[in-house]
């Protein structure tokens, strides 16, 4: 009896030991059924059976465990769901198998087979989210889930092709949110020619990246290095793939996902909001559609119409082209004839054409590349393969150039072969003597023309200065010209707008900026509008009007105010926006009575929304926009208190490879302008970052930076925040209204982020992508350095209006005397 008891106890202990051998593993001796799970060693991911959304079907999948529990990143049996909870997992020498029991008989639902028998197989879930199958007699992984992505790309996952094993790794959308089976969209690498990625809609090419240029994908504004994660592209004889890795895995949780609509998004986990936030979105814009402008057509989203022909080319079918059908593309004005003189036209800042049918040599330079193309009658264009490595590498096209885009800030140079007749007479002669004979007279002609143009320009300038005194004639002509252009915006009748605002009644007035009043309007159909009527006595009004239309008309983001249309009748300059029920942020946070309704969760949500909107302007939009007048009064709030950045009259579109610019006309608002901009006229994305930092601290403190006073010193709000931070006295800085409704540590963190944004040296300030990550994660923050404009000042008793021909702003400012801090 005692022996039987001992044997039973030993058997029980052995069974328990085997079945709980490791929480992150399944061995061939374990039973794994629906309801069982394994968790990675660090608790990051969990494997088990689940039902997505409202579906009752069961799938074996992997999801996040520590954060966002239930967010699925991988599914095994995507296209073969179990109909009930009778599923189980079998691990044996053949691999991993999902079984379903039907009437006592197990049927195979899905299997991860291996070519060889596995001795003592073990399945383990790693903290990377990778499910791996290992064997004690084999090195490495016999099988891994990272080789078979679903709709998610995790850090460390490869997307591409293993040229040795033949494994192709690509990810596909779910069919619906309730159905993880393979959907219509996929993203995969095409290794033919020079490798590039395609987005597919079924079997049709939907969009593509340009080729890898040494540090990013050509023509893709969202793949720029940012210090948060690192892009890697490997191209050798064994494999071709892309992956991304976080520079610090403890600082953020990020993943790429392909939505059911085919949009690729990079998401970051927001600890404060306990939800996923969009870090960037690779949206398929009109110019992103593959081949939308046909052969030798170039797409520029800033133009209307967006498609045009390369120089020396004309539409193949002009009538179809006029009807906005550009699919047939363009043809040469002059055919290339082998053996005749030919040259190349350079195009800068473009998304390179489709590279599937090209030839390449990565060991030669650009000059050698040009010679190869000249010698081959079939060659149509050439370009550098890499913008790094000193411009090494050669790409050669031998067919029509398809899918070219104008991406000034993210493009490369390409050289298109043209006949001599299209290159100009001076090029046609190879003789230096002939060139001199032509160039010298040409230079004299150019000089003469220059003198003539200078006289014309001077005369026109004088005329313009006279006409600026009475705007009617000049602006009427300008506005008539604008009317003939395609705004991609509805044009409203003046009478309709006048009726909507009760003829611009004072009672309808919402506020007034430096360029005119804003009225509330209600159309006949009941729609509410905000009507911005630029004042006629502003000499800069027309420029600001054009700028605002050109900037914001092409921008679409939930944290940017929507421009619904404009009116340019009778010399008027009227912009029609969506109506914001809660007006502007400054009317709430700086009002002692109203700000009582603004608790910390609302303020934090507003801060996050502004940050996402600014990130869109700087990085994710079709155009790179520097706002230049970000402040509380330019943040509008809708009926749900969602923030929307407004007033793009002073914004600047950055083109080419611009990262900064200089101006002799400083525009903006004192208190929000960065030092390098206010003093030297130098602006960049870091100027907007500075303004955002000021705004962030104002939101937390509930007072204006410029009008802040303190009995112990004469610093502005930034200076006071800096002293409070250094003295570990941040609690006294927080607006009393939010003390009870806030997590103090969270508020302290936001203040620190604000101080990082307002550091005196622009190089020290983070970019907006880093700011969004700081706000949405618990990453460790660096210590800020001294803020800009950290100086004592003495406020005069009276307020004066600043008037300067080189300074434009929409606010009245208090004159201050600035003295160095003692």
The superfamily in CATH containing domain 586-819 is: Transferase(Phosphotransferase) domain 1 (1.10.510.10)
SS3 207: strand
pTM over 0.85: no
SS3 452: helix
d(CA 283, CA 632): 29
d(CA 45, CA 62): 7
Q: Determine phi and psi for 413, rounding to 5 degrees.
A: -95, 140
SS3 734: coil
SS3 773: helix
pLDDT digits (tens, 9 = 90+) for 736-747: 889 877 788 889
pLDDT class of 819 with cuts at 50, 70, 90? very low
- Asked whether the predicted pLDDT for residue 1 surpasses 70, the reply is no
- Asked whether the predicted pLDDT for residue 9 surpasses 50, the reply is no
Q: Quick one: fold of 1-148?
A: Agglutinin, subunit A (2.90.10)
d(CA 348, CA 713): 54
DSSP code of 596? G
CB contact set of 163 (below 8 Å; sequence gap of 6+): 191, 237, 238, 239, 240
pLDDT class of 682 with cuts at 50, 70, 90? confident
d(CA 547, CA 527): 26
Give yes or no for a contact between 467 and 460, defined as CB atoms under 8 angstroms apart.
Answer: no
SS3 597: helix
Extract the runs of DSSP E, i.e. beta strands, from 574-696. 574-578, 624-626, 635-637, 643-645, 652-654, 660-662, 666-667, 682-684
Point out the least confidently predicted range of 523-537, 621-635, 648-662.
Answer: 648-662
List the beta bridge partners of residue 517.
Answer: 512
| pLDDT of 516 | 75
- Asked whether the predicted pLDDT for residue 820 surpasses 80, the reply is no
Closest of 189, 239, 234, 193 to residue 214, by C-alpha:
234
Give yes or no for a contact between 671 and 638, defined as CB atoms under 8 angstroms apart.
Answer: no
d(CA 254, CA 266): 7
Give yes or no for a contact between 372 and 587, defined as CB atoms under 8 angstroms apart.
Answer: no
- Given the candidates 3.50.4, 1.10.8, 1.10.10, 2.30.110, the CATH classification of the domain at 287-428 is 3.50.4
The superfamily in CATH containing domain 475-578 is: Phosphorylase Kinase; domain 1 (3.30.200.20)
- Asked whether the predicted pLDDT for residue 702 surpasses 80, the reply is yes
d(CA 655, CA 643): 27
CA atoms within 13 A on the CB side of 383: 29
Q: Determine phi and psi for 742, rounding to 5 degrees.
A: -125, 155
d(CA 611, CA 356): 39
Mean predicted confidence (pLDDT) in 675-701: 89
d(CA 316, CA 298): 14
| pLDDT of 6 | 47
pLDDT class of 557 with cuts at 50, 70, 90? confident
Q: Respond yes or no: is residue 638 known to be catalytic.
A: no
pLDDT digits (tens, 9 = 90+) for 156-184: 999 999 999 899 999 999 999 999 999 99
- Asked whether the predicted pLDDT for residue 489 surpasses 90, the reply is no
Cis status of the peptide bond prior to 420, with omega within 30 of 0: no
pLDDT digits (tens, 9 = 90+) for 785-800: 999 876 655 544 433 3
What number of other Cβ atoms are within 10 A of residue 348's Cβ?
12
Single out the catalytic residue among 24, 354, 629, 688.
629
- Asked whether the predicted pLDDT for residue 253 surpasses 60, the reply is yes
d(CA 337, CA 369): 20
SS3 677: helix
Give yes or no for a contact between 530 and 546, defined as CB atoms under 8 angstroms apart.
Answer: no
Give yes or no for a contact between 263 and 281, defined as CB atoms under 8 angstroms apart.
Answer: yes
């Amino acid at each position: 009896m005692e022996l039987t008891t001992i044997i039973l106890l030993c058997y029980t202990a052995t069974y328990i030991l085997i079945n709980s051998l490791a929480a992150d593993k399944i061995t061939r001796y374990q039973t794994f059924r629906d309801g069982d799970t394994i968790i990675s060693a660090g608790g990051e991911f969990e494997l088990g059976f689940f039902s997505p959304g409202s579906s009752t079907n069961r799938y074996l999948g992997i999801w996040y465990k520590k954060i966002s529990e239930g967010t699925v990143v991988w599914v095994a049996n995507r296209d073969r769901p179990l109909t009930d909870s009778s599923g189980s997992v079998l691990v044996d020498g053949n691999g991993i198998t999902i079984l379903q029991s039907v009437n006592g008989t197990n049927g195979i639902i899905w299997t991860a087979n291996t070519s060889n028998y596995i001795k003592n197989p073990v399945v383990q879930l790693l903290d990377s989210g990778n499910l791996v199958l290992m064997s004690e007699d084999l090195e490495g992984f016999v099988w891994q889930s990272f080789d078979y992505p679903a709709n998610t790309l995790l850090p460390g996952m490869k997307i591409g092709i293993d040229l040795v094993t033949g494994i192709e790794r690509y990810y596909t959308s779910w069919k619906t949110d309730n159905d993880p089976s393979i959907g219509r969209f996929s993203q995969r690498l095409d290794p033919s020619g020079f490798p590039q990625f395609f987005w597919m809609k079924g079997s049709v090419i939907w969009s593509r990246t340009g080729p890898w240029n040494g540090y990013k994908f050509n023509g893709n504004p969202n793949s720029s290095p940012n210090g948060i994660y690192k892009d890697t592209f490997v191209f050798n004889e064994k494999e071709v793939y892309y992956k991304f890795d976080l520079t610090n895995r403890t600082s953020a949780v990020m993943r790429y996902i392909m939505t059911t609509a085919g949009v690729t998004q990079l998401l970051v986990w927001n600890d404060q909001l306990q939800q996923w936030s969009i870090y960037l979105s690779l949206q398929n814009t009109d110019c992103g559609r593959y081949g939308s402008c046909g052969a030798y057509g170039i797409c520029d989203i800033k133009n209307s119409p967006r498609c045009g022909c390369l120089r020396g080319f004309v539409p193949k079918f002009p009538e179809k082209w006029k009807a906005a059908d550009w699919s047939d593309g363009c043809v040469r004005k002059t055919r290339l004839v082998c053996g005749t003189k030919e040259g190349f036209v350079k195009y800068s800042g473009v998304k390179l054409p489709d590279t599937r049918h090209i030839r390449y040599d990565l060991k030669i330079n650009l000059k050698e590349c040009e010679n190869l193309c000249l010698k081959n009658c079939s060659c149509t264009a050439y370009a550098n393969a890499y913008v790094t490595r000193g411009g090494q590498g050669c790409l050669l096209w031998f067919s029509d150039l398809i899918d070219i885009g104008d991406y000034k800030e993210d493009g490369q140079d390409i050289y298109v072969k043209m006949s001599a007749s299209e290159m100009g007479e001076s090029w046609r002669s190879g003789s230096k003597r002939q060139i001199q004979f032509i160039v010298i007279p040409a230079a004299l002609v150019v000089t003469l023309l220059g003198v003539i143009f200078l006289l014309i320009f001077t005369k026109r300038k004088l005329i313009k200065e006279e006409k600026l005194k009475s705007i009617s004639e000049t602006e009427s002509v300008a506005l008539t010209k604008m009317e003939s252009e395609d705004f991609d915006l509805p044009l409203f009748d003046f009478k309709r707008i006048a009726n909507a605002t009760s003829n611009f009644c004072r009672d309808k007035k919402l506020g007034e900026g430096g360029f005119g009043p804003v009225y509330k309007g209600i159309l006949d159909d009941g729609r509410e509008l905000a009507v911005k009527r630029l004042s006629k006595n502003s000499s800069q009004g027309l420029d600001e009007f054009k700028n605002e239309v050109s900037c914001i008309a092409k921008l679409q983001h939930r944290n940017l105010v929507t421009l619904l249309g404009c009116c340019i009748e009778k010399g008027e300059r009227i912009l029609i926006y969506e109506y914001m029920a809660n007006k502007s942020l400054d009317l709430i946070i700086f009002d002692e009575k109203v700000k009582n309704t603004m608790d910390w969760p609302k303020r934090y949500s507003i801060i996050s929304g502004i940050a996402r909107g600014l990130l869109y302007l700087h990085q994710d939009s079709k155009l790179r926009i520097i706002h230049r007048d970000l402040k509380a009064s330019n943040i509008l709030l809708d009926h749900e208190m969602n923030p929307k950045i407004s007033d793009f009259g002073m914004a600047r579109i950055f083109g080419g490879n611009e990262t900064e610019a200089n101006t002799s006309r400083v525009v903006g608002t004192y208190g929000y302008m960065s030092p390098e901009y206010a003093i030297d006229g130098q602006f960049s994305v870091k100027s907007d970052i500075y303004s955002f930092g000021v705004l962030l601290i104002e939101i937390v403190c509930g007072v204006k930076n410029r009008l802040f006073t303190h009995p112990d010193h004469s610093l502005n709000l930034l200076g006071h925040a800096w002293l409070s931070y250094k003295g570990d006295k941040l609690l006294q800085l927080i607006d009393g209204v939010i003390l009870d409704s806030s997590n103090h540590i969270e508020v302290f963190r936001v203040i620190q982020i604000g101080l990082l944004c307002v550091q005196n040296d622009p190089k020290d300030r983070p970019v907006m992508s880093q700011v969004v990550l700081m706000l949405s994660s618990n990453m460790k923050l660096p210590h800020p350095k001294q803020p800009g404009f950290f100086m004592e000042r003495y406020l005069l008793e009276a307020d004066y209006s600043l008037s300067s021909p080189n300074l434009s702003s929409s606010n009245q400012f208090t004159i201050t005397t600035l003295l160095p801090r003692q």
